[in-house]
């Protein structure tokens, strides 16, 4: 079969229900019992990371919340270290989780947005080309476990271990209660929609409690040797559902519903707090608490802005409310209790910190640093810079990136390069842009961020770049109206190509909708659609007659902001394998990046067989002419 006609994962989807080959009751079995038996206990600290999904910066009592009750985590803060300047590696879940496993910025892992379900055009997963945290620790005798949410693959059919990017592929010895189906909007009471193979241990079982049981069970099974355990809670991600008794408690509590106090979230968070308490009691009962580092944190800021106040923004944004997160480190017997650290910390630091404790080598290319000295209270770090890149649309957010150096932070909109500069010491709420008042700082941070983005190489560059062996310009509509472009994509001889369309003459002639892209026939095409009425852009992918748009970014947020009728205006599509970037020039002579997307689940122009079937094309109106077939 050719690369175009052979079945893709989209065309062979089968139900991932009870008939699926994955049996979660056996997921907890070690990957290789023989390999584990050969390991020898080492005098190395255990490491446990408890991740709370979508937890806002101010939701814990130890961070100032007076409505939510989190006595167990608050006790850890009193006995350990509470970080005030800790950050998620991204403003959303999947990229942060990839950063935790690899110690790298999300832009280096290829996971920069939350991963979609089976029906999306993309086919992404965390690549095994990066040495993972389990692979770093295994040579030092560590047993590694992952319990709960993974969200680093877009494949949810077939045997669990065969799915690309699954936790076993990254070296975890035990994987328990990790989603079997796509997570969707959450599911907290048994039977769990995304865990159809996980039998309940008690009637009406609550998922957070089940993860607590699994975590304490893992600790008891492996306490005789060093271990790493990630307890990745599904809570408090929407849709929010709590145990009835706790929910009633908070609904009746004074202040409910005032200033962001949400009874259902408070009840869910108390269940997680109880989970943390059970883990701590197990460590103490087994006599290994003083040889265990326990970290409690979040994967991004809270989904609702009130959860992050006084910080600006929230989930999906690179303002402080979207990326600053709680981080509590508890390691009994190490340094003074109740330390408050203002050191910069990030998700990318988990791997090098665990490696430092284990005496393991840190892989080349890791961006994080070892925080052991900070947690012990014996050292500070020399880090003063952190980077973020979120090149996607979500909610009201457009693609943007940020850098923090010292107390200053710059946020850049990637479409037009507009910058905001903040002094976080004087203005933690990011209300005052000081870029004009501090041009030297603006220039320095802007240069740092530009260099980082160049390193990441996230976008297929626009036409005119030397990156392309050939770029196609259609000039004006008259050249393609009667006889659309028939050049084969194959003729470029490369997976990298770009094409552009001069739009102003077409719009002046009365056309109100323009399309530019690559076409096989009416049932198979990938195009950009510009609507002059909406002053906006969409992308359209049809494969075998089916419109593939599940999980597409909400680029409708561009509506009203793109005017391609001005003299010199152009529209462009740049392709690099399965990655596509849309550009526009509104007549300024400068390309603006509007959005990017991946179609690897359906098309990959890295394949010559695929390129041989597609042609460049441009047209107006609602559809392509039949002669394009």
How is 551-599 classified by DSSP, letter by letter?
T---GGGGTTS----STT-EEEEEEETTEEEEEEE-SSS--EEEEEEE-
Question: Considering the chain, what percentage of its residues have pLDDT values greater than 70?
Answer: 87
> What is the SS3 assignment for 507?
helix
Domain ranges of the chain: 45-381, 400-456, 471-628
According to DSSP, residue 297 is labeled E
Short-list 551, 611, 225, CA closest to 392: 551
* Unique residue bearing structure tokens 């062979």: 12
| Cα 126 from Cα 97, distance rounded (Å) | 10
Point out the catalytic residue in the list 125, 151, 157, 525.
151
Q: For 356-404, how does the pLDDT look when each residue is reduced to its tens digit (9 = 90+)?
A: 999 999 999 999 999 999 999 999 999 999 999 999 999 889 999 999 9
Asked if residue 421 lies in contact with residue 448, where contact means CB atoms within 8 angstroms, the answer is no
pLDDT in tens, 433-451: 999 999 999 999 999 999 9
Task: Tell me what pLDDT residue 329 has.
Answer: 98
Please state, in angstroms and rounded to a whole number, the distance separating the CA atoms of residues 15 and 157.
Answer: 7
Give dist(CA 301, CA 22) in Å, integer: 33
Which residue is it, tokens 């079982």?
205
Between the alpha carbon of residue 56 and those of residues 311, 315, 339, the distances in Å are: 10, 9, 21
Q: Any catalytic annotation for residue 93?
A: yes
Q: Does domain 471-628 have CATH number 2.60.120?
A: yes
Q: Name the CATH topology of 400-456.
A: Arylsulfatase, C-terminal domain (3.30.1120)
Distance CA 128, CA 583 (A): 31
User: Is 313:320 a contact under the CB 8 Å cutoff?
Assistant: yes
- Tokens 């070690």 belong to residue: 30
Active-site residue, selected from the candidate residues 93, 398, 442, 452:
93
Average pLDDT for residues 102-107, to the nearest whole number? 99
Whole-angstrom CA distances from 156 to 195, 355, 563 are: 11, 31, 40
Give the CA dihedral 344, 350, 353, 355, nearest 10 degrees.
Answer: -150
255-273 burial, b for 16+ CB within 10 Å, e for fewer?
Answer: eeeeebbbbbbbbbbbbbb
Residues in CB range of 50: below 8 A, 6 or more apart: 231, 233, 272, 275, 276, 279, 294, 295, 296, 297
Between 13 and 432, whose confidence is greater? 432
Residue 208 has pLDDT above 90, yes or no: yes
What are residue 125's DSSP bridge partners?
153
Does 13 score more than 90 pLDDT?
no
DSSP string, 441-495: HHHHHHHHHHHHHHHHT-SPPPTT-TT-S-EEE--STHHHHSS----BGGGG-SS
**DSSP codes, 314-359:** -TT-SSHHHHB--EEEE-TTSS-TTEEE-S-EEGGGHHHHHHHHHT
pLDDT at 344 over 60: yes
pLDDT of amino acid 8: 40
Q: Is the pLDDT of residue 316 over 60?
A: yes
pLDDT > 70? residue 475: no
Please answer whether residues 317 and 91 qualify as being in contact, where contact means their C-beta atoms are separated by less than 8 angstroms.
yes
Q: For all residues of the chain together, what is the average pLDDT? A: 89
Using the CB atoms, write b or e for 567-593: b if 16+ within 10 Å: eebbbbbbbbbbbbbbbbbbbeeebbb
C-alpha distances out from residue 422 to 138, 382, 427, Å = 42, 22, 7
Residue with tokens 């059970």: 278
20 in catalytic set: no
Nearest to 595 by CA among 585, 580, 605: 580
Rounded to a whole number of angstroms, the distance between the first and last alpha carbons of the chain is 21
Give the burial class of 61: count Cβ atoms within 10 A of its Cβ; 0-12 exposed, 13-18 middle, 19 or more buried.
buried
Q: Name the pLDDT band for 35 (thresholds 50, 70, 90).
A: very low
Of 307-316, 352-361, 475-484, which one has max mean pLDDT?
352-361
Q: What does the block give as tokens for 353?
A: 């910190």
CA distance 99 to 515: 37
pLDDT confidence of residue 600: 96
Q: What is the CATH number of domain 45-381?
A: 3.40.720.10
CB 500 within 8 A of CB 474: yes
Q: How confident is the model at residue 32 (pLDDT cuts 50, 70, 90)?
A: very low
This prediction has a pTM of 0.90
| Cβ-Cβ contacts under 8 Å for 312 (sequence gap 6 or more) | 319, 320, 321, 429, 430, 431
């Amino acid at each position: 079969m050719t690369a175009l006609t052979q079945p893709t994962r989209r065309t062979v989807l089968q139900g991932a229900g009870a008939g699926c080959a994955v049996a979660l009751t056996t997921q907890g079995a070690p990957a290789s019992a023989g390999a584990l038996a050969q390991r020898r206990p080492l005098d190395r600290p255990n490491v446990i990371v408890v991740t709370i999904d979508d937890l806002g910066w101010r939701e814990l009592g130890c961070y100032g919340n007076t409505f939510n009750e989190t006595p167990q985590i608050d006790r850890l803060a009193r006995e350990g270290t509470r970080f005030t300047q800790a950050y998620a590696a991204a403003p959303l879940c999947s990229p942060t989780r990839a950063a935790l496993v690899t110690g790298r910025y999300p832009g280096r892992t290829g996971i920069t947005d939350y991963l979609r379900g089976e029906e999306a055009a993309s086919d992404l997963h965390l690549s095994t080309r990066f040495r993972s945290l389990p692979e770093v620790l295994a040579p030092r005798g560590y047993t590694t476990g992952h319990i709960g949410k993974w969200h680093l693959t877009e494949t949810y059919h077939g045997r669990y271990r065969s799915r690309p990017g699954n936790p076993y592929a990254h070296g975890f010895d035990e994987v328990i209660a990790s989603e079997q189906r796509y997570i969707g909007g959450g599911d907290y009471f048994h039977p769990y929609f995304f865990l159809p193979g996980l039998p309940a241990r008690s009637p009406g079982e609550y998922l957070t409690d089940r993860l607590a049981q699994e975590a304490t069970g893992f600790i008891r099974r492996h306490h005789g040797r060093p271990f790493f355990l990630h307890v990745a809670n599904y809570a408090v991600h929407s849709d929010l559902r709590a145990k009835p008794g706790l929910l009633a408690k908070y609904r009746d509590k004074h202040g409910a519903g005032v200033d962001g106090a949400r009874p259902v979230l408070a009840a869910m968070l108390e269940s997680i707090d109880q989970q943390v308490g059970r883990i701590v009691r197990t460590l103490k009962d087994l006599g290994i608490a003083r040889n265990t580092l326990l970290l409690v944190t979040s994967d991004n800021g809270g989904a609702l802005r009130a959860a992050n106040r006084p910080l600006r923004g929230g989930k999906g944004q690179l303002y402080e409310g979207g990326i600053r997160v709680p981080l509590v480190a508890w390691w009994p017997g190490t340094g003074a209790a109740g330390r408050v650290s203002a050191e910069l910390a990030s998700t990318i630091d988990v791997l090098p910190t665990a490696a430092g404790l284990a005496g393991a080598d840190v892989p080349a290319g890791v961006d994080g640093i070892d925080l052991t000295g900070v947690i012990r209270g014996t050292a500070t770090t020399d880090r003063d810079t952190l980077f973020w890149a979120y090149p996607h649309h979500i909610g009201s957010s457009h693609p943007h990136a940020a850098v923090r150096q010292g107390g200053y932070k710059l946020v850049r909109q990637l479409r037009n390069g507009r910058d905001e500069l903040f002094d976080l010491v004087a203005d933690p709420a990011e209300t005052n842009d000081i870029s004009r008042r501090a041009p030297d700082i603006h220039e320095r941070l802007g240069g740092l961020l530009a260099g980082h983005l160049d390193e990441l190489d996230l976008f297929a560059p626009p036409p005119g770049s030397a990156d392309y062996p050939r770029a196609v310009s259609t000039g004006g509509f008259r050249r393609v109206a009667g006889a659309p472009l028939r050049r084969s994509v194959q003729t470029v001889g490369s997976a990298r190509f770009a094409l552009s369309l001069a739009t102003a003459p077409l719009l002046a002639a009365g056309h109100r909708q323009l399309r530019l892209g690559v076409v096989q026939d009416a049932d198979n095409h990938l195009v950009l659609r510009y609507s002059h009425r909406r002053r906006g852009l969409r992308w359209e992918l049809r494969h075998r007659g089916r419109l593939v748009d599940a999980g597409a970014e909400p680029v409708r947020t561009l509506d009203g902001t793109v005017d391609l009728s001005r003299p010199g205006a152009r529209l462009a599509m740049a392709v690099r394998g399965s990655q596509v970037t849309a550009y526009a020039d509104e007549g300024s002579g400068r390309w603006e990046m509007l959005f990017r997307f991946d179609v690897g689940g359906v098309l990959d122009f890295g394949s010559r067989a695929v390129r041989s079937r597609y042609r460049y094309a441009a047209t107006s109106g609602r559809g392509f002419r039949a002669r394009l077939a």
